[in-house]
A and B are shown apart, each in its own frame.
Chain A
Amino acid sequence: MAGDIAIIGYAQSPSWRAAELTEPQFLFPVITEAIERAGIGRRDLGFTCAGSCDYLSGQTFSFVMNLEAVGAWPPISESHVEMDGAWALYEAWVRLQHGDIDTALVFGSGKSSPGVPSEIFPLQMDPYTITPLGADPVSLAALQARAMLDAGKITEREMAEVVARSRRSAIGNPHAQVTGDHDVDALLGEPYLTAPLRRHDLPPISDGASAVVLATAGKAKEVCERPVWIRGIDHRIEVHQPGMRDLTTSASTRMAGEKAGVGKAAVDVAELSATFSHQERILCEALGLDDKVDVNPSGGALAANPVMAVGLSRVVEASRQIADHGKHRAVAHATSGQCLQQNLVAVLEGD
Chain B
Amino acid sequence: MSDASQDVVDPNAPVVGMDYFMSLHFNEIICPVVRRYADALLEGKLIGHRCPKCGLVYAPPRGYCPIDVIETTDADEVQLADRGVVTNYTVVTPVAYYGQEATEPFAKVSVQLDEPGGALSLQDVLEIGADEVRVGMRVEAVWAPEAERNIDEIGNRSWGSAEGCIRGWRPTGEPDVPADQMSDKAF
A interface with B by C-beta (< 8 Å): 18-22, 24-25, 28-29, 31-32, 42, 55, 58-59, 65, 67-73, 111, 113-116, 119-120, 123, 127, 132
Contacts and interface: CB of A to CB of B under 8 A. Distances in A.
A127 B19 CA distance: 12
A72 B27 contact: no
Nearest to A122: B22
B33 to A, nearest CB: 8
A288 B64 CA distance: 46
A18 B29 contact: yes
Contacts of B31: 20-22, 25
Contacts of A18: 29
Contacts of B22: 119, 123
A162 B153 CA distance: 45
A68 B63 CA distance: 11
Interface string B7-39: 000000000000010111111110111000000
A106 to B, nearest CB: 16
A136 to B, nearest CB: 13
A42 B64 CA distance: 16
Given A22-B156, A59-B157, A132-B20, A68 B28 contact: no
A119 B25 CA distance: 8
B138 interface: no
Interface string B38-71: 0000000000000000000000001110111101
Given A25-B63, A115-B24, A32 B29 contact: no
A333 to B, nearest CB: 29
A119 B24 contact: yes
Contacts of B64: 24-25, 28, 68-69
Contact of A20 (B29, B62, B71): B29
Contacts of A67: 66
A20 B28 CA distance: 8
Nearest to B66: A68
A32 B33 CA distance: 20
Contacts of B33: 25
A65 B66 CA distance: 10
A137 to B, nearest CB: 15
B67 A73 contact: yes
Nearest to A69: B69
A73 B66 contact: yes
A113 B27 CA distance: 8
9 contacts: A22-B31, A24-B64, A29-B71, A69-B64, A111-B28, A113-B28, A114-B28, A116-B24, A119-B23
Contacts of B25: 115-116, 119
Please provide the 9 A-B residue pairs with the shortest distance between their CB atoms, ordered closest to farther: A68-B66, A58-B26, A114-B28, A114-B26, A71-B69, A22-B156, A73-B67, A22-B31, A25-B63
Nearest to A19: B29
A65 B23 CA distance: 24
A20 B33 CA distance: 10
A189 B157 CA distance: 44
B69 A115 contact: no
B63 A21 contact: yes
Given A25-B31, A58-B28, A69-B69, 17 more contacts: A20-B31, A21-B63, A22-B63, A25-B62, A25-B63, A25-B64, A29-B71, A31-B69, A65-B157, A67-B66, A68-B64, A69-B66, A114-B26, A115-B26, A119-B23, A120-B24, A127-B20
Nearest to B23: A119
B21 to A, nearest CB: 12
Contacts of A24: 62, 64, 66
Contacts of B27: 114
